[in-house]
Amino acid sequence: MPEPRILTPDYKKYRQGAIGFVVLNGVYLLLAYLKVPSFNITFQTIGYMLFLIIFVVALARFVYSGSRKLVLFLAAIYAGRILFSSYTLIAGIAHPMVPYVLPTTVIGFYLFGRIIWDWP
């Protein structure tokens, strides 16, 4: 039987980041379903959601295991999403869903930033 490993503070941040990533993407999907008026459930959308859930869980598994390069890549993507969404909100051309889902993106970026740049 393998010996239990001691969780370092860095590993705990990876665990929290992975769990937060899955939860925030679930909230994002729920908000998309509730706030987009033309969102109809068809076999195609069910397939898309199933693929998205599998993809998010697979990425979260790599984050959970401590993949620093993936976390840096995801943090860069989230930073770009925040900047673009903020620009569209200021310019007045944002999709109606953006004000509701932008906080999930900001919190996700914070979780990744805690891992990469040792934020509190």
If we measure between CA atoms, which residue out of 80, 70, 77, 78 comes closest to residue 14? 70
Contacts of 94 (CB under 8 A, 6+ apart): 85, 88
The residue type at 115: I
The conformation of residue 115, written as its DSSP 8-state character, comes to H
The conformation of residue 36, written as its DSSP 8-state character, comes to -
The residue type at 62: F
Q: What is the pLDDT of residues 27-74, one digit of tens each?
A: 998 988 888 777 778 899 889 989 999 999 999 999 999 999 999 999
Q: What is the pLDDT of residues 83-93, one digit of tens each?
A: 999 999 999 99
- pLDDT tier, 113 (very low <50, low <70, confident <90, very high otherwise): very high
Contact 115, 17 (CB under 8 A): yes
